[in-house]
Amino acid sequence: MNNIKIGKYGEDLASKYLEAKGYKIKERNYRTFLGEIDIVCEYKGNIVFVEVKTRRSEKFGYPEEAINLNKQQKIIKNALCYLSKYHLWEKNCSFDVILISISKNRDLKKIKHIRNAFCLDIK
């Protein structure tokens, strides 16, 4: 199974997980010319932008490894596009990260949901 399919599979698992938790999925793979956000969902009136990272069991890295500064900037820009498109400036937002590890047989081994993984501080 190649990486793209693993990625897609991971995203599906993540969506199921979020729905089970009461998150309302609004959009999958929101794409703009700047890039892509894996999942946009809504939870208790807040908009949550989720980035999903799927890994095979042995390599379960840290979130900083998974999402470096460039990626963060891209996601933030995309998020701004989304908010602007739907005029959602009054809502609270957060950026979450879901790390999924699967075994060789496509069995789900572990899900890690990191809330508020990063924000926009001026460094």
Partner 1 sequence: MLSKLYSAAILGVEAFTVEVEVDVHPGLPSFNIVGLPDTAVQESRERVRAAIKNSEFEFPMQRITVNLAPADIKKEGPIFDLSIALAILVASKQAKPDLLNEYLILGELSLDGSVKPVSGVLPIALMAKKTDKIKLLVPKANAKEAGIIKELKVFPTNSLGEVIEFLNNKISIEPISVDLKDIFKLSKNNQIDFSEIKGQEHAKRALEVAAAGSHNVIMIGPPGSGKTMLARRLPTILPSLTLEESIEITKLYSIANLLPPEMPLITERPFRAPHHTISNVGLIGGGRMPKPGEISLAHNGVLFLDELPEFSRSALESLRQPLEDGIVTISRSLSSVSYISSFMLIASLNPCPCGFYGDPVKVCTCSSSQIVKYRSKISGPLLDRIDIHIEVPRINCREVMEKDSLENSFVIRERVETARKTQRERYDEDSMFCNAQMNKRQIKKYCNIDDNAKNLLYKAIEKLNLSARAYDRILKVARTIADLEQSREIEISHISEAIQYRSLDRKLWLY
Residues forming the site for partner 1 (CB under 8 A): 76, 79-80, 83, 89-95, 116, 119-122
With respect to partner 1, which residue has the nearer C-beta, 30 or 101? 30
Name the token pair of 92: 């609270």
Q: Which DSSP string corresponds to 54-84?
A: EEETT----HHHHS-HHHHHHHHHHHHHHHH
Q: Greatest CA span in the chain, whole angstroms?
A: 44
Find the shortest distance in angstroms from Cβ 18 to partner 1: 18
Find the shortest distance in angstroms from Cβ 23 to partner 1: 16
Find the shortest distance in angstroms from Cβ 120 to partner 1: 4
